[in-house]
Amino acid sequence: MHTQLDVNGRAYALDHDPRTTLLDALRDHIGLYGTKKGCDHGQCGACTVLVNGRRINSCLTLAAMHDGDEITTVEGLGEPGALAPLQQAFVDCDGYQCGYCTPGQIMSATGMLEEAKAGDPSHVSASLSGDVALDDSEIAERMSGNLCRCSAYPFIRQAIHSVEGKE
């Protein structure tokens, strides 16, 4: 079947098996291997991308369901020599070790910061009505869909915190 995807500002026309997930389409059809497969069941977050600006697990959705959608992957944020501030913050804070969950952490954090900016509450928000103050516990809860077995968690959050509120 045929699906049109806009990935990092570029149009791709795919001819694919209906079973192909968005993740496998990005990796093996388009050749953007930055988005990782850690579990293929929405249990680790390594495959996180932005679809129309919102973070989702690309393993748990079919490419076919995203005809015409705008996808942003980690490659779309920046590249060596021209890293996005959040990417540079991960480097500076050592917000990774093996690096495998890193693209997912970065994409998830990118989406998460927008959610917080919009005032969306979290499970640990003291009040459902107030503004969101992104302290460490808020960031931790909101990022809990991204496992990091190296357990770079404190440094990942330090990186996120360092760019929060800056454009």
Partner 1 sequence: MTQTFKMDEPLPRLLDETRQGLIGTPMNRPDGPLKVSGRADYAADRLPDGTAHGVLVRATITKGKVTRLDESALAGIEGVVAVLSGPNFVRNPAQGMAGESPVQPGPRVDYHGQPIALVVAETFEAARDAAQRLVVEYDDAGGAEVDPDSASEVETDDPDATGDWDEAWGRAAAKVDVTYTTPGQVSAAMEPHAALAHWDSGRLTLHGSQQMLRFNRKELADAVGVDPSEVRILSPYVGGGFGSKLGIGAEAVSAALASRDLGRPVRVVMARQTVFDAVLRRTQTSQHVRLAADADGRLLALGHDDLVSNLPEESFAEPTTNASQFTYGAAALRFQQSVARIHRTPSGSVRAPGEAVGMVVLEAAVDELAGELGMDPVELRLKNIPDTAPLTGQDYSGRRLADCLRQGAERFGWAQRPKAERDGDWLIGCGMAAAARKNMLTKAAARVRLTGAGAVVETDMTDIGTGSYAILAQIAGELLGLPESKVEVRLADTDLPGASGSGGSFGAGSTGSAVFLAARRIREQLAAQLGCEPGELTLQDGIARGANVEKSLADLVQDELVGEAEIASGEAAKSHLSAGWGAHFCEVAVHAWTGEVRVRRMLGLFDIGRVLNRKTATSQAVGGMIWGLGGALTEELHHDPRTGHIANRDLANYHVAAHADAAGRIEADFVDDRDDWANPMQSKGVGELGISGSGGAVLNAIHAAAGVRIRHLPATPDKVIAALEAAGR
Partner 2 sequence: MRPFDYTRAGTLDEAGAQLGKTAAVIAGGTNILDLMKLQIMTPERLVDIGRVPGLDGIEADGDGLRVGALVRNSDLAADGRIRAGWPVLSRALLSGASGQIRNKATTGGNLLQRTRCPYFYDPAMACNKREPGAGCAAKEGVGRMLAIFGTSEHCLAAHPSDMAVALRALDAKVAVRAADGSERTLPLDEFYRLPADRPDIETVLGPDGIVTGVVLPAPVAGSVQAYRKVRDRASYAFALVSVAAVVTVEDGRIARARLAFGGVAPRPWANDAVTAMLEGEAPDDALFRAAADRLTADAAPHPDNEFKLPMLRRTLVSVLRETTGLAEPSIGTDRTDAAA
Torsional sign, CA 83, 152, 105, 162: negative
Binder of residue 12, out of partner 1, partner 2, none (CB less than 5 to 8 A by kind): none
Q: Which of 14, 83, 161, 164 touches partner 1 (CB under 8 A)?
A: 83
Residues within window 107-166 making contact with partner 1, judged by CB under 8 A: 124, 136-137, 139-141, 143-157
What is the Cα gyration radius of the chain?
16
d(CA 116, CA 27): 29
Residue range at the interface with partner 1 (CB under 8 A); choices 64-72, 99-107, 113-121, 125-133: 99-107
Please report how close the Cβ of residue 144 comes to partner 2 at its closest, in angstroms. Answer: 4
In sequence order, what are the beta bridge partners of 41? none
Rounded (10°) CA dihedral 96, 150, 162, 103:
50
Q: Other C-beta atoms within 10 Å of 96: how many?
A: 20
- DSSP tag of 79: B
Q: Which of 50, 56, 61, 90 touches partner 1 (CB under 8 A)?
A: 90
Contact between 87 and partner 2 by CB under 8 A: the answer reads no
Query: Which residues form the interface with partner 1 (CB under 8 A)?
Result: 17, 19-20, 24, 27-28, 31-41, 43-44, 46, 73-75, 77-81, 83, 87-88, 90-92, 94, 96-103, 106, 124, 136-137, 139-141, 143-157
